[in-house]
Amino acid sequence: MKWKRVIFWSLAIVASGACIGGVAGIFFWHSESSGRTVDLFTIDLFKVAFAITATACYWRLGAGAAMHRGAHIVAALLLVETCFTVLGFLAGQPVETLFDPTELRYSVACAFAGYVLAHLMPNAAPRATPVGDDI
């Protein structure tokens, strides 16, 4: 198993999640300070943005590991969930919200979608035959 790749892509998912969460937090704070309410569509929009980003990262991780693709993605999923749990705990989230089964299913769905994309489009394009070698 290529642990450097797993750690790199796991940190990329955590960093992208932190960036999207930071933008969402600023957006929610600004809307509350101006007296506007945030609708569920906006919250779902941030969830979709994270899902697309996480799925793309899982896909790129899985595309580079043809032999143990599933193991790489599962290891990255566990590492990402551990990082999000620790960050949530350090941020002062209540313990009962740290282990939300809905969010876990959401993360597993992103990892599975990345696995399927890596299986269908593994980035292994056939090599071009040099001119003159096809004789």
Say what the pTM is: 0.79
d(CA 66, CA 39): 42
Contact 6, 61 (CB under 8 A): yes
> For residue 133, is pLDDT > 70?
no
pLDDT in tens, 19-75: 998 888 888 887 777 766 766 777 788 889 999 999 999 999 998 887 889 999 999
67 against 109, higher pLDDT: 109
What pLDDT is stored for residue 126 in this prediction? 47
Query: Are the C-beta atoms of 5 and 60 separated by less than 8 Å?
Result: no
**DSSP secondary structure letter of residue 123:** S
What are the domain boundaries of the chain? 3-120
Nearest to 66, CA basis, from 108, 12, 124: 124
